[in-house]
Amino acid sequence: MARRAPRHAEAERNDQALLEAAKKVLAVDGAHASVATIAARAGVGIASLYRRYRSKDELFQHLCALSLDQWIEAAERGLQHDDPWEGLTHYISACIEFSGGSLGPLAGTIAITDEMAAKFTRSDELMRDLVAHAHAAGVLRPDATAMDISLLIEQLGKSPLIEQLDRQGRTDLTDAAHNARKRTVAIALDGLRSGHPQLPGTAPTPALLAERWEPAPTNSTRSPGRS
């Protein structure tokens, strides 16, 4: 057991490095991101990676499960706050900071494992509890839903400015870019407070995010005369 401990610790470090690398590579390359590019960015050997994961899909499924762990931990910490608003904003800010939505490009490209499904469910339950507490306290605008907040996190988790500077290697501007994003997040969070005018349209349904993880239907039949 003592001999295996260092290997286990190394595997965990590699997992976290791969997760962070995958988020950044997927943000730029989308679902076409290659394992080789992710491994190189993480500083993990491609041969050792494939000794652990049998396929690209298996790697991405594992990374999705790790990302969901981050969402769950952020929600659990949020629920520990005595102030429902502070708890909700902690959750949103934490999820944006670790780019919770950046694995979104994988939606519909990999099968959902039982582990992923269970963690999806747990994450949704905790987030809905956070929203319910904030609504009950009257601090969250009544027309804002858990789905609205999920979409907000996904939108703000992706920062074109930070990604551009990262590609350019402009580390001298990194702090300023992150500070600018924090200001944008603060503006968005203020819009969630109660007392604002009614939101436009109808509230998005859970299917809007959930169904994109289903494989896209194949066009087995086409209308006559259409190419």
pLDDT for residue 221 is more than 60? no
Looking at residue 99, what is its pLDDT? 67
* Maximal C-alpha separation, the chain: 68
Contact 22, 103 (CB under 8 A): yes
What pLDDT score was predicted for residue 217? 65
pLDDT at position 148 is 94
Report the pLDDT averaged over residues 136-161. Answer: 90
Is residue 172 pLDDT above 50, yes or no? yes
97 closest CA partner among 135, 67, 64: 67
Using pLDDT thresholds of 50, 70 and 90, give the confidence band for residue 4: low
The pLDDT confidence band at residue 207, using thresholds 50, 70 and 90, is confident
Q: How many whole angstroms separate alpha carbon 209 and alpha carbon 215?
A: 13
Please state, for a pLDDT cut of 90, what percent of the chain lies above it: 37
- CB–CB of 19/67 below 8 Å? yes
pLDDT 10s digits, 63-98: 889 889 999 999 999 999 999 999 999 999 999 888
Mean pLDDT computed over 40-54:
86
Measured CA to CA, the distance from residue 148 to residue 192 in angstroms comes to 10
* Structure-model confidence comparison of residues 57 and 24, the more confident one: 57
Q: How distant, in Å, are the alpha carbons of 61, 126, 217 from that of 80?
A: 29, 11, 42
**Alpha helices, DSSP H only, in the chain?**
4-29, 35-42, 46-52, 56-79, 84-97, 114-136, 146-157, 160-168, 174-190, 207-210
pTM over 0.85: no
CB atoms within 10 A of CB 170: 12
